[in-house]
Copies of this chain bind each other. A is one copy, B any other.
Amino acid sequence: MRHFYFKKDTLYVLDQRFLPHKEIWVKCKNYRDVADIIKKMVVRGAPLIGVVAGYGVYLGAKEGKFYQAYKELKNTRPTAKNLFFALERMRKVYEEKKDVLSVLKEAKKIEEEDRILCNKIGEFGEKLIKKNFKVLTHCNAGSLATAGIGTALGVIRKAKKKIKMVWVDETRPYLQGSRLTAWELEKEKIPYKIICDNMAGFLMRKGEVDCVIVGADRIARNGDTANKIGTYSLSVLAKYHKIPFYVAAPYSTFDLKLKDGSEIPIEERSEKEVKEIQGKKITPIKAKVFNPAFDVTPHNLITAIITEKGIIRNPDKSKICKFYKKMAK
């Protein structure tokens, strides 16, 4: 499923705000366009943000504005580590080579690597899924969030034959679950049902959930993990019901500079995302809203982190640091 591509110095992306009903493509001809599509969530998903930012920086370099592009892209969204990871890689290459073509090559490399990483995460994660498993996922950590088959959905795709049901949290306010994950699973013919986010506990209590798998936006060095708002509540519910809780993420998600999750910046987004759904106002006009886009799941609630180099069980500082060295190779 191709949802973005870079051709003749133009980045084309499928506008995820209009899925699943309209497939509208957006063209980005310069770094400002790329910054804009990240801010407005035309594209989203931590790994994908990193990939498109790479092309954005290249477009900036091409017009002689590498640092402006770097800076503007850096300020688009604060939480996903993959964005800063990609930008730092681009900067390093630019400063070493001072050559626009090398910068483009690096952007393509980031994309290609992400594709391969997803496959590997899927292969490792697949081993955790047993026959007839009912899996619950939150948000969209699928193709649409990456350059490949996805992280959490990568695992689900690789384990397809063993999966009896995917419970898809609709994931308010942006509805990544009911709009995007459902769309991907529909195309893959993997059995799924959409639920409202507040129904997960009910299903767990009924014994209808064998494991939870989610993606990640940033992982601190002790394993605390920022992911889409609602992930933390799910991790507490999973713990209470003794259900394994898995995070699937590539090494570009880890931020070893951060001691723990309290240091991860949490983006707050516009009230409008909660007050309106597809332009329909649902709350009183003057209503006040709180709209954090992410939350942090502490490492002790995570059964394992699934990476492209293997699985980190009961993640903590020493395990993460050891693994990260292995991953970064």
Write the residues of chain A forming the contact surface with B, with a CB cutoff of 8 angstroms: 20-21, 138, 167, 169-173, 175, 178-179, 182-183, 186, 191-203, 205, 229-230, 232-233, 236-237, 239-240, 274-275, 277-284, 286-292, 295
Contact = CB atoms under 8 A, between A and B. Distances in A.
Contact of A20 (B201, B232, B283): B283
A178 B289 CA distance: 9
A295 B232 contact: no
A282 B196 contact: no
Which 5 residue pairs are nearest across A and B when measured between Cβ atoms?
A198-B230, A201-B233, A172-B196, A197-B198, A202-B295
A239 B197 CA distance: 19
- What secondary structure prevails in chain A residues at the interface with B? mixed
Contact of A172 (B198, B279, B291): B198
A233 B233 contact: yes
Contact of A280 (B199, B280, B287, B290): B280
Contacts of A169: 198
Contact of A282 (B199, B274, B278, B291): B278
A232 B201 contact: yes
Contacts of A198: 138, 169, 171-172, 197-198, 229-230, 233
Contacts of A282: 170, 175, 178-179, 277-278
Contacts of A279: 280
* Most chain B beta-carbon contacts within 10 A, residue among A138, A237, A282: A282
A138 B21 CA distance: 31
A236 B230 contact: no
Contacts of A236: 201, 236-237, 240
Nearest to A138: B198
B237 A196 contact: no
A197 B194 contact: no
B200 A290 contact: no
Contacts of A240: 236, 239-240
A193 B288 contact: yes
Given A21-B281, A237-B236, A290 B186 contact: no
